A and B are shown apart, each in its own frame.
Chain A
Amino acid sequence: MCHPSWGRALAAAQRLRDLARLRRVRDRIDREYGQPLNVLALARDAHLPAGQLSREFQSAYGKSPYAYVMARRVERATRATTRLPRLGSCPTFASSR
């Protein structure tokens, strides 16, 4: 009945929606990186079981949520001591003042 390409297109669209949901989780981890990571709360707000959230996060970003937040803290501490900007930031105006 359905053309096979429709099924593939639907699966691809669902995958993009799932990735966008993970992006919101990651952005929230970035915002709250100084607080203890609460995967259960993140999963609840993303309407996902915690185990599934951790697996999907690892698959998308190459690290578990715990490993990711630790990497962010290390990166943050390194930047604080070296004054390096993070990706998506630029110290242009600061350095030209």
Chain B
Amino acid sequence: MMIMDITIHTSVLPHVDPDASLAFYRDVLGFEVRSDVGHGTMRWLVVGPANQPDTSILLAPPAADPGITEDERRTITEMMAKGTYGWIQLATRDLDGTFAKVQARDAEVVQEPTEQPYGVRDCAFRDPAGNLVRIQELR
């Protein structure tokens, strides 16, 4: 096997209200803000956990690519609103403590900490853009 030096650097989630998304990832999940460019809804925010400086989440405006048609843009924003578009998987050693803290900030709960039949214990929230944020327990 060829050895490559590649890391997972940034993954991308869409936002609709950048300030609301920023508040969720910074104030509710406790991520640091690494970059904040643009203005209005055309804003690109890079966030990530302080203890993992090499991996980031980019919160970006959806459908900003000029090659996306108006119909496609509408489909994307509607899928985001109905909760079938973006999702991400996070992990923590303290699932119950994390769930309690996030729930206490009035985040939209999708699932309480649950033992899944496939051997994972996880919980889930919606971010303000409707992305599914699933958090699993490291054990």
Contacts and interface: CB of A to CB of B under 8 A. Distances in A.
Interface of A: 12, 15-17, 19-20, 22-24, 26-27, 30-31, 60-61, 76, 79-80, 83-85, 87-91, 93-95, 97
Interface residues of B, number: 29
A16 B108 contact: no
Interface stretch (B4-12, B81-89, B97-105): B81-89
A24 to B, nearest CB: 7
A89 B126 contact: no
B111 A31 contact: yes
B70 to A, nearest CB: 11
B62 to A, nearest CB: 11
24 contacts: A16-B16, A19-B78, A23-B81, A23-B83, A26-B82, A27-B83, A27-B110, A30-B110, A31-B109, A83-B117, A83-B118, A83-B119, A85-B120, A87-B87, A88-B89, A88-B124, A89-B116, A89-B118, A89-B120, A90-B89, A91-B118, A93-B91, A93-B138, A97-B119
B35 to A, nearest CB: 27
A84 B82 contact: no
A84 to B, nearest CB: 7
Nearest to A27: B110
Contacts of B112: 31
